[in-house]
Structure 1
Amino acid sequence: MDNGMEVPEYQLFIHPSYVSELRKDVWMDDPVSAKLTINKKKYEIDIVYRGSHIRELRKKSYQLSFYKPSIYRKAKELHLNAEFKDPSLLRNKLSFDFFNEIGCLSPKSRFVFVKLNGKNEGIYLEIESVDEFFLANRQLPEGPIYYAVDGDANFSLMSNLDKEVKKSLTLGYEKKCVTEQGDNQLQEMIVNINTVPREEFEHEIVKYVNVDKYLRWLAGVIFTQNFDGFVHNYALYRNGETGLFEVIPWDYDATWGRDVNGESMREDYLRIEGFNTLTARILDVKTFRMQYKNLLEEILNSKFNVEYMKPKIQAMHNLIRPYVLKDPYEKDNIAVFDQEPDFILTYIEARGNYIRSQLDTLD
């Protein structure tokens, strides 16, 4: 899942009766078996639709699990995202690459062209799964991984959904890789985030959270303006050696100036202090706040600007354009697709100016 400048072709064969089964109930989470051919090599896989609201869209997204052979490109499963609500098809990949460049753990991704039962199904973004293979491929220590699946993953004792005290502090999280201590450490961290007195917080939180990495993740959410990014659309990984939690971004198509419906989003929609209990408490500490301010400034100067981003956006757009023309769901939108690089660059300029104008509020 590198950034190699080519788009591999995936030939997917799902028995027609299984295709009917999937289409009959898009919310079914039981996978069906399928075959995948890549460069003449055949793989037996399990496949199922993925995502929440995106399952009802015309172009489906998929989760693939490999079982014969059981590993493909050093992974046991991967995600194929249709990016159907994003007229540029680029935002998720742009975001993951951006997070990686500013020093965050982030899934690798690449574009692939999918044929389903011999017919063009279109251009997809293949995304690395965040699991034990994700850690092994980066030579990171083993540790539990939790997916934040709903608004209860808000680092608070109160539910985001019903505003009551949570019955369990693991609410909002789905376990992906779990060690014996995992749940206890997650709960202990959430309790401490909410109960450690203000004067002790700076010295206590560093026992649970890698604050530098957290601020880099926070900066990534702020620059890309992912409004949902604070209470879900992330994974938590606890590094087995340091014992500290880090945040990994996930689902970043509603970014770079467009919302979940693909509509234009004002550049000042998301304040630079962000949201959620942990962010509020970290930014309440002057040392961390200054660290965050310096980080925002550094990223504005080095990465989040038109000069740096333009060649990346243009190269990505040029790479997939021929495949968009062959995509049955996208080819009629080519005029909008061609305007998107300029739309994204206009957003970067405007968002950058807005963030710069707000930096003094962190003093």
Structure 2
Amino acid sequence: MDEAEKISQYKLFIKPNDVRELRRDIWIDDPIPAQLTLEGKRLEIDLSYRGSHIRDFPKKSYQISFYKPTKFKGAKQIHLNAEFKDPSLIRNKLSFDFFTEIGVLAPQSHHIFLTQNGKAEGVYLEIESVDENFLKRRSLPDGSIFYAVDGDANFSLMSDLDKETKKSLELGYERKCGAATEDHYLQEFIYKINTIRQSEFEKEILNFVDVDKYLRWIAGIIFTSNYDGFVHNYALYRNGDTGLFEVIPWDYDATWGRDVNGKVMEANYVPIDGFNTLTARLLDVKSFRKQYRTLLEDIMNHQFTVDFMIPKVENLLQLVRPYVLQDPYKKHTIGDFDRESAVIAKYIEERRRYLQRKLAKLD
């Protein structure tokens, strides 16, 4: 989905009774019927709120499932993110595009302007759903996809939530697509991560995970500084042809120098070696650690530079700025919006200095 000079207008139409039902309890996932008009087409949809803590924000995020027709442009579902705490409204997209640049599977995304029953709701980021259609659009082999839904998706036998041994190796995950029999492969993967002997790990782990793609995903977290990225905010894809797992990033608005509350985050906040079990075991192997260091240096020489990133930042900011002025949740903070390019540039410079100092830790 390429950016155009103007962003698309999405028009929601919801019956008053259904609006009341949607707002009655923001924590209910049951959808309501609605209509969505875009590109001159009126589509019947199911609409619900999405996210966890973000449901409390004045500007809501939505999940849309196409009902009639059941697919639109090859998708059965899309996500509309409000990006409420991000003063720039672009960090999520900037991150997904960055992951793609460094060789990681990532959702496509583009900005839209949303109205509901004729009233402006503001700038949103439409994000591709990571499901079987995500694979089809990329001509990837069929396989299973598991969403990491909470901190128990930490690649460990120990729960990240209650600090006890997990009662199930599937804790922290929800299967999005693939047969129920695929759960066995996820369980085996988690078990093997934690039980392969150190002397055999370098060889045996290659039977379960695409190490190069995994290290690229970790590098993406390190450069964008998504603090939750190691144990949350991702999906696991098991390639049906190779049988190997790889990771798809998700929910990257708290990045590029701002945290989940939109506050400036120190450039040294996220450690260079991460903090989940699989990452720790991989980086304990000299060859993988060297591979990771070489990868970081390569990305720092090419993609993670002010010269490479800031033109992309400024193009996105220029694209959405006219619509930010019409956004009822953002129009009074246009000065903050206009300063975001400088905030991101400063973050990149400071993060580069931090990473340069820490590279020796990977020797």
- TM-score of Structure 1 vs Structure 2, range by shorter chain: over 0.9
Q: Which residue of 2 aligns with 1:349?
A: 349
Q: Which residue of 1 aligns with 2:89?
A: 89
C-alpha distance in structure 1 between counterparts of 2:73 and 2:111, whole Å: 15
C-alpha distance in structure 2 between counterparts of 1:221 and 1:279, whole Å: 12
Q: Which residue of 2 aligns with 1:11?
A: 11
Q: Counterpart of 2:341 in structure 1: which amino acid?
A: P
Corresponding residue SS for 1:206: helix
Runs of 4+ in structure 1 off by over 4 angstroms are none
Corresponding residue SS for 2:328: coil
Count of residue correspondences: 363
**Which TM-score applies when normalising by structure 2?**
0.99
Q: Which residue of 2 aligns with 1:185?
A: 185
**Relative to structure 2, which stretch is displaced further, 337-346 or 3-12?**
3-12
Q: Which residue of 2 aligns with 1:45?
A: 45
Q: Deviations over 1:303-346 (max 9, x none)?
A: 00100011100000000000000011110111100001110111
Q: Counterpart of 1:267 in structure 2: which amino acid?
A: A
Corresponding residue SS for 2:201: helix
Q: Counterpart of 1:341 in structure 2: which amino acid?
A: S
C-alpha distance in structure 2 between counterparts of 1:57 and 1:180, whole Å: 35
Corresponding residue SS for 1:281: helix
Q: Which residue of 1 aligns with 2:22?
A: 22
C-alpha distance in structure 1 between counterparts of 2:15 and 2:345, whole Å: 43
Q: Deviations over 1:90-147 (max 9, x none)?
A: 1000000000100000000000000110111111000000000000000000111000
TM-superposed CA distance for 1:4, in Å, is 3.3
TM-superposed CA distance for 1:180, in Å, is 4.1
C-alpha contact 1:3 1:109 (8 A) present in aligned 2:
no
C-alpha distance in structure 2 between counterparts of 1:284 and 1:247, whole Å: 20
Corresponding residue SS for 2:114: strand
Q: Which residue of 1 aligns with 2:300?
A: 300
TM-superposed CA distance for 1:23, in Å, is 1.2
Q: Which residue of 2 aligns with 1:195?
A: 195
Q: Which residue of 1 aligns with 2:259?
A: 259
TM-superposed CA distance for 1:232, in Å, is 0.7
C-alpha distance in structure 1 between counterparts of 2:110 and 2:67, whole Å: 22
**Which TM-score applies when normalising by structure 1?**
0.99
TM-superposed CA distance for 1:354, in Å, is 0.8
Q: Counterpart of 1:358 in structure 2: which amino acid?
A: K
Corresponding residue SS for 2:253: coil
TM-superposed CA distance for 1:188, in Å, is 0.6
Q: Deviations over 1:141-180 (max 9, x none)?
A: 0111000011110000111111111110000001101224
C-alpha contact 1:258 1:265 (8 A) present in aligned 2:
yes
C-alpha distance in structure 1 between counterparts of 2:353 and 2:232, whole Å: 27
C-alpha distance in structure 1 between counterparts of 2:143 and 2:325, whole Å: 43
Q: Deviations over 1:5-55 (max 9, x none)?
A: 430000110111111111110001000000011122110000000000000
**Relative to structure 2, which stretch is displaced further, 140-149 or 171-180?**
171-180
C-alpha distance in structure 2 between counterparts of 1:321 and 1:75, whole Å: 28
**Relative to structure 2, which stretch is displaced further, 88-97 or 68-77?**
68-77
C-alpha distance in structure 1 between counterparts of 2:180 and 2:336, whole Å: 50
Q: Counterpart of 2:321 in structure 1: which amino acid?
A: R
C-alpha distance in structure 1 between counterparts of 2:244 and 2:137, whole Å: 19
C-alpha contact 1:256 1:347 (8 A) present in aligned 2:
yes
Instruction: List aligned pairs for 1:277-288, cutoff 5 A.
Output: 277-288=277-288
C-alpha distance in structure 2 between counterparts of 1:180 and 1:151, whole Å: 22
Q: Counterpart of 2:154 in structure 1: which amino acid?
A: N
Corresponding residue SS for 2:158: coil
C-alpha distance in structure 2 between counterparts of 1:70 and 1:106, whole Å: 23
C-alpha distance in structure 2 between counterparts of 1:199 and 1:286, whole Å: 12
C-alpha distance in structure 2 between counterparts of 1:192 and 1:283, whole Å: 16
Q: Counterpart of 1:66 in structure 2: which amino acid?
A: F
Instruction: List aligned pairs for 1:1-363, cutoff 5 A.
Output: 1-363=1-363
C-alpha distance in structure 2 between counterparts of 1:125 and 1:178, whole Å: 27
C-alpha distance in structure 2 between counterparts of 1:196 and 1:136, whole Å: 34
C-alpha distance in structure 2 between counterparts of 1:235 and 1:39, whole Å: 30
Corresponding residue SS for 2:339: helix
Corresponding residue SS for 1:190: helix
Question: Where in structure 2 are there 5+ consecutive unaligned residues?
Answer: none
C-alpha distance in structure 2 between counterparts of 1:301 and 1:83, whole Å: 30
C-alpha distance in structure 1 between counterparts of 2:3 and 2:129, whole Å: 16
Percent of paired sites with the same residue? 63
Corresponding residue SS for 2:146: strand
Q: Counterpart of 2:264 in structure 1: which amino acid?
A: S
C-alpha distance in structure 2 between counterparts of 1:187 and 1:4, whole Å: 43
C-alpha distance in structure 2 between counterparts of 1:251 and 1:347, whole Å: 19
C-alpha distance in structure 2 between counterparts of 1:40 and 1:300, whole Å: 43
C-alpha distance in structure 1 between counterparts of 2:295 and 2:312, whole Å: 22
C-alpha distance in structure 1 between counterparts of 2:238 and 2:218, whole Å: 17
C-alpha distance in structure 2 between counterparts of 1:103 and 1:6, whole Å: 28
C-alpha distance in structure 2 between counterparts of 1:282 and 1:196, whole Å: 12
Corresponding residue SS for 2:94: helix
C-alpha distance in structure 1 between counterparts of 2:224 and 2:313, whole Å: 14
Q: Counterpart of 1:295 in structure 2: which amino acid?
A: L
